[in-house]
Chain A
Amino acid sequence: MVAIVLLLVAVLILVLAIFNPSQKTGLLRKLALESIAPLEGMINAASTGVSDVWERYIFLINLGETNRTLVRENAALSRKINEYREMHLEFLRLRKLLGLKEKADFPTVAARVVGRKQSSLFETIMINKGSNDGISVDMPVETVYGVLGRVIEVSWSVSKVLLLVDYNSNIDTLIQRSRAHGILQGSGEKGCRLRYVRRTDDVVVGDVVVTSGLAGIFPKGLMLGTVDSVKKEKTGLFQEIRVSPSANVTQIEDVLVILGNERRGE
């Protein structure tokens, strides 16, 4: 009898969560997150320590070759930076001429990943910052390489982040070069699919995909990934596009949570 009642309660929770999704994290879920996060953090810190010692002091094969490659890459990148600096200065002059508004810099909070993939189908991570640090649901999360996902649950000192490769993740996007519009949907370990891009739109392999800023969650122009493959079927309105995320979602240690978005306050 008790089991049946509990089952009915569980079904009720599920139905409410699906048909009446709340922005707030319940007290029980907060307590569960708070109780497990410190232990996860401890285990992760210990394992990171061991792997750091292994990689920095013991496993040094090919270090010389890697160093030479990096020196070459560094020289090439320095040249590129110089080119971009020139372009940036030109851009600043042109913007001044056109009187365009300066892009806002959003305040961010740095956080450490304390828990990684914990379920077979859901792609989430846990970070060690929560509402005490100003984080709230739907805030974008990024790494130095690009967008990682968005916050879906917040407790006092822990938050859960839905990665952009999760099936539930949908991000409004633009192709940087051609400004073609689409929706980036997660497809698990395979990366992401760019959906609803018209057959006539110009998209090629290697194109950079950025946030469009339209849905009000992600600011405009954040790096999402690059186009991996483009397929146009004989029939149909849209192209079949695969995108490889720029942030490595399997090896994340530190992230940035973007606290403000000018659209949020509108």
Chain B
Amino acid sequence: MYFLSLCLFSFLMLIVQVTLFDLLLHGIVVIELTMILVIYAGFHLDATRGGILTFMIGLLYDAIAGIIPGLFIVVYMLIFCVAKVISDKVRVENSVLIMGFTCMSTFLEGVMIFFVYGVLLDIHLSKLLFVQVFVPQAVILSALSPLLFSLFHRIEVLTGVGESQ
């Protein structure tokens, strides 16, 4: 029940991300809330459920926004795996850690996309573009991440306390 509600919530979040945010921000910056959800899954869910949820979010986002099938799934799965490893070793309640990891994940996504474009597709994107696209995104997502973590936690409490652990 808890996992199903989490899946539904992820789906709704993705819709908000690709519709409402685009309308409000006119495409100036894309706020990838799903990435914060993936990090939350890595920090708080077990490997199986978190992995499936991450795969599902990646697949959906890929289908809706991606051009190269599988790219977002790989990026999100990588972020999830790194978050899982960190959560096994460090206490992950610290806001600074959450913000720092979110920032790093945004840059990881950028590096992955640039890698796929440059090495595999032979399309060389400018470094300036990396700065223009991923720096604002990293700043905004990092700032939002503690708030969203708190929101996710509330939803977790509402839908089934402790089941995730």
Contacts and interface: CB of A to CB of B under 8 A. Distances in A.
Interface stretch (A39-47, A209-217, A255-263): A39-47
Range for the number of chain B residues in contact with chain A: 35 or more
Given A2-B51, A43-B19, A118 B69 contact: no
Contacts of B27: 116-117, 250
B63 A29 contact: yes
Interface of A is mostly: helix
B30 to A, nearest CB: 4
A162 B67 CA distance: 8
B52 A2 contact: yes
Chain B interface main SS type: helix
Nearest to B74: A10
Contacts, number: 135
A67 interface: no
A188 interface: yes
A36 B60 contact: yes
Interface in B7-27: 11, 14-15, 17-20, 22-23, 26-27
B146 interface: no
B22 A32 contact: no
A119 B51 CA distance: 22
Find the residue from B50, B54, B73, B113 having the highest chain A CB count within 10 A. B73
B133 interface: yes
B39 interface: no
A6 B54 contact: yes
Contacts of B159: none
A118 B54 contact: no
Nearest to B60: A32
A46 to B, nearest CB: 9
Contacts of B92: none
Contacts of B17: 118
Contact of B68 (A12, A18, A28, A36): A18
Interface of A: 1-4, 6-7, 9-18, 26, 28-29, 32-33, 35-36, 39-40, 43-44, 47, 115-122, 124, 126, 152-153, 162, 166-168, 188, 250
Nearest 4 CB-CB pairs, A to B? A14-B70, A13-B70, A32-B63, A118-B65
